[in-house]
């Protein structure tokens, strides 16, 4: 929930702060005993003076409507709901002459409210000139020098001083001179530079500053004012949240002293890190949550005493740094899961790297990091980074490089590519996985010693058994397995085929053989598989290859399959291609985004998930396709 004073409904809420100085009736019940003790005769009528910007810039539009028109509507509605015993004055500037820095006029002197006259005067304003804020405040304050009662001044402006003087210094001097007033300021559609000057005025005048950005803010505020009736006894709690000496957006939970349940919560302004809240006098505890840091750490501040009619200010400070994780397989970027644990062993963050990296923000301290590759036969490899020290406002970088080996199995039947089953075992005989060779298949493995059995599905008596296979990181061990059909099976197959096919397959029969070889890099297996895939222009009989794309590497595991490609194409074109191609295959688009030089597409079909991550590099786009098949 955004702060009502800084973001939502600032315009009318400010008016009522100045006019009625109310508490949040839905969150903070006022001090009933103090209210009961105060009789009607003890309450003095309030004094409010509006200083309204009627300079030429008020013809500027917000959401297609002139700012002056919005201000007139809101003020008219406000005036009609004011108490009949309130004293009101109205000052305007810039409404009579262009370029005249002396154009300041007291339109209605401070007096018992005359609603019809006040509305008529507001509606008659016609913006023309400059913004002499300093002069308007000076002339207004001169009328208050001899007054015993405190007056609330509400300044509405859509810009800073454009004539002589510094209004912030002037307000400070007027307060020091003992003039009894409080000044609230509304910045209506202002820039950051203009906001700073207007906010300074409010602070110097002992009041509050609010930013009004849209007409919708005003319309929402109108609904709030109808439930307001009379002043309530309140104080103000101001909380400023900073991280590494900079203001941040944080969430504040308010508790009455001794109560565990919060009765209200809100967000600080993301630019200033401030939240201000009217509340009944009493003792409070706040819990402040840093919503932009992993695990959303919180700080608790107790013993905050809010006095009647006064303000309490509290600054809450967080310290955090960032951790950059680089995940690699044999020196190349890869996807992997990451868990970050605090010293007590609690997981504070759990995520996957993207394109081999991820940056997270963590509270200052020491952490253990656990990275794991998924779906690797023989056990998912794990790398643990111990005692990673996070320092405030600094980035720490850590790299985890997994050494993965590859086993390539190529199978033929009577000299032609042949899809059959391969079974993989650990040296103790425990089965790790089995997979279809698809003629030629490369699987990723943890370094170690394995046993491979390849079975001829057409004649299960034919089994090729290889023991003591040594897999090393970054290297590929290849097996070429050739099967022959028995004479009986061969004749049976031949009888079932047309004559043309029988002639085509009349190849000489050779003895079964098996050979092994070790490659220097696992990428060789990927390139070989790529050539076969490009002939059909489809991956795994399901995912089309982007037209003209080059397949760099394929890593096929069950259930996780990966492919790396590149193409001379825009990221938007790649995203739209896969959205269209896969929805035609009954896949659903979960997420599809393009941000700068990166793109991301997630597709779903039942429990299966395809993730396409693309990155623009010079004139080409590199993209990974990852398929978790359930």
Reply yes or no on whether the pLDDT at 90 is more than 80: yes
List beta partners, residue 246.
Answer: 243
Query: Which string of b and e fits 208-220 if b means at least 16 CB within 10 Å?
Result: bbbbbbebebbbb
Residue 169's pLDDT is what? 92
Q: Are residues 136 and 228 in the same domain?
A: yes
Q: Are residues 601 and 555 in the same domain?
A: yes
Q: Name the average pLDDT for the chain.
A: 79
Contact between 188 and 15 (Cβ < 8 Å): no
Residue 109's pLDDT is what? 93
Q: Are residues 342 and 391 in the same domain?
A: yes
Per the domain annotation, does 549 fall within a domain? yes
Q: Are residues 434 and 500 in the same domain?
A: yes
Per the domain annotation, does 164 fall within a domain? yes
Residue 306's pLDDT is what? 93
The residue among 521, 541, 566 that closes a domain is 521
Residue 4's pLDDT is what? 36
Per the domain annotation, does 375 fall within a domain? yes
Residue 414, domain CATH? 2.60.40.10
Reply yes or no on whether the pLDDT at 595 is more than 90: no
Q: Give residue-wise pLDDT tens across range 344-387.
A: 898 988 888 988 999 999 988 999 999 998 778 767 789 999 99
Per the domain annotation, does 290 fall within a domain? no
Residues 6+ apart with CB under 8 A from 377: 424, 432, 433, 443, 444, 445, 446, 557
Distances (CA, A) of 413 to 16, 440, 461, 508, 509: 87, 12, 14, 12, 10
Per the domain annotation, does 486 fall within a domain? yes
Mean pLDDT of 580-608: 84
Residue 380's pLDDT is what? 79
Q: Are residues 96 and 197 in the same domain?
A: yes
The number of distinct structural domains making up the chain is 4
Residue 536's pLDDT is what? 40
Q: Is the dihedral of CA 342, 344, 345, 350 positive or negative?
A: negative
Q: Cα(430)–Cα(13) distance, rounded to whole angstroms?
A: 72
Q: Are residues 507 and 547 in the same domain?
A: no
Residue 558's pLDDT is what? 53
Residue 539's pLDDT is what? 78
Q: Are residues 43 and 79 in the same domain?
A: yes
Q: Are residues 128 and 68 in the same domain?
A: yes
Closest CA to 11 of 55, 89, 73: 73
Q: Are residues 179 and 223 in the same domain?
A: yes
Residues 6+ apart with CB under 8 A from 162: 55, 101, 130, 131, 132
Mean pLDDT of 452-457: 93
Q: Give residue-wise pLDDT tens across range 501-538.
A: 333 333 333 333 333 443 434 344 444 444 444 434 57
Q: Give residue-wise pLDDT tens across range 49-84.
A: 989 988 988 898 887 888 888 888 878 877 887 788
Residue 304's pLDDT is what? 94
Q: Are residues 497 and 588 in the same domain?
A: no
Per the domain annotation, does 302 fall within a domain? no
- What is the span of the domain harbouring residue 371? 320-402
Per the domain annotation, does 297 fall within a domain? no
Per the domain annotation, does 113 fall within a domain? yes
Q: Are residues 76 and 195 in the same domain?
A: yes
Q: Are residues 495 and 535 in the same domain?
A: no
The residue among 378, 402, 426 that closes a domain is 402
Residue 122, domain CATH? 3.40.50.410
Residue 247's pLDDT is what? 93
Query: Among the listed ranges 40-44, 126-130, 152-156, 310-314, which one has the minimum average pLDDT value?
Result: 40-44
Residue 569, domain CATH? 3.30.310
Contact between 228 and 19 (Cβ < 8 Å): no
The residue among 490, 521, 552 that closes a domain is 521
């Amino acid at each position: 929930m955004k702060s009502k004073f800084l973001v939502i409904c600032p315009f009318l809420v400010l008016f009522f702060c100045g006019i009625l100085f109310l508490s949040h009736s839905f969150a903070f019940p006022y001090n009933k005993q103090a209210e009961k003790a105060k009789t009607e005769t003890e309450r003095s009528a309030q004094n409010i003076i509006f200083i309204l910007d009627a300079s030429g810039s008020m013809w500027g539009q917000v959401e297609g409507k002139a700012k002056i028109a919005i201000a007139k509507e809101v003020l008219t509605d406000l005036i009609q709901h004011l108490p009949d015993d309130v004293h009101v004055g109205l000052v305007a500037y810039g409404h009579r002459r262009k370029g005249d820095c002396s154009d300041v006029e007291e339109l209605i002197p401070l007096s018992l409210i005359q609603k019809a006259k006040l509305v008529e005067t507001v509606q008659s304003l016609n913006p023309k000139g400059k913004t002499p804020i300093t002069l308007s405040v000076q002339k207004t304050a001169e009328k208050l020098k001899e007054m015993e009662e405190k007056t609330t001044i509400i300044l509405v402006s859509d810009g800073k001083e454009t004539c002589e003087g510094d209004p912030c210094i002037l307000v400070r001097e007027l307060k020091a001179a003992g003039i009894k007033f409080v000044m609230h300021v509304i910045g209506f559609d202002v820039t950051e530079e203009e906001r700073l000057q207007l906010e300074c005025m409010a602070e110097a005048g002992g009041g509050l500053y609010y930013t009004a950005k849209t007409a919708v803010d005003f319309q929402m505020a109108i609904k709030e004012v109808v439930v307001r009736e009379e002043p309530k006894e309140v104080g103000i709690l101001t909380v400023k949240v900073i991280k590494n000496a900079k203001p941040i957006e944080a969430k504040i939970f308010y508790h009455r002293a001794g109560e565990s349940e919060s009765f209200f919560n809100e967000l600080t302004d993301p630019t200033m890190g401030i939240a201000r809240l009217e509340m009944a006098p009493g003792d409070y505890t706040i819990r402040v949550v840093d919503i932009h840091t992993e695990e959303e750490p919180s700080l608790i501040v107790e013993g905050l005493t809010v006095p009647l009619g006064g303000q309490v200010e509290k600054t809450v400070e967080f310290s955090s740094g960032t951790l950059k994780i680089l995940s690699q397989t044999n020196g190349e970027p890869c996807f992997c899961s990451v868990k970050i644990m605090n010293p007590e062993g609690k997981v504070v963050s759990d995520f996957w790297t993207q394109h081999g990296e991820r940056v997270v923000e963590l509270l200052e301290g020491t952490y253990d990091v656990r990275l794991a590759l998924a779906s690797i036969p023989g056990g998912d490899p794990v790398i643990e980074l111990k005692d990673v020290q996070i320092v405030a406002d600094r980035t720490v970088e850590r790299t985890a490089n997994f050494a993965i080996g590859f086993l390539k199995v190529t199978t033929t039947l009577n000299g032609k590519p042949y899809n059959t089953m391969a079974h993989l075992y650990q040296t103790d005989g425990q089965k790790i996985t089995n997979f279809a060779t698809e003629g030629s298949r490369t699987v990723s493995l943890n370094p170690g010693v394995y046993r491979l059995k390849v079975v001829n599905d057409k004649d299960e008596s034919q089994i090729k058994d290889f023991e003591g296979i040594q897999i090393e990181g970054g290297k590929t061990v290849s097996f070429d397995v050739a099967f022959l059909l028995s004479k009986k099976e061969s004749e049976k197959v031949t009888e079932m085929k047309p004559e043309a096919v029988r002639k085509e397959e009349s190849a000489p029969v050779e003895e079964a053989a098996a050979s092994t070889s070790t490659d220097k890099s696992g990428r060789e297996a990927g390139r070989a598989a790529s050539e076969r895939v490009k002939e059909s222009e489809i991956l795994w009989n399901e995912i089309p290859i982007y037209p003209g794309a080059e397949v760099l590497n394929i890593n096929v595991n069950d259930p996780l399959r990966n492919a790396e490609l590149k193409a001379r194409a825009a990221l938007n074109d790649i995203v739209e291609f896969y959205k269209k191609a896969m929805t035609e295959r009954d896949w659903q688009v979960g997420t599809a985004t393009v941000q700068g030089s990166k793109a991301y597409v997630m597709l779903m079909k039942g429990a299966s998930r395809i993730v396409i991550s693309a990155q623009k590099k010079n004139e080409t786009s590199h993209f990974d396709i990852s398929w978790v098949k359930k």
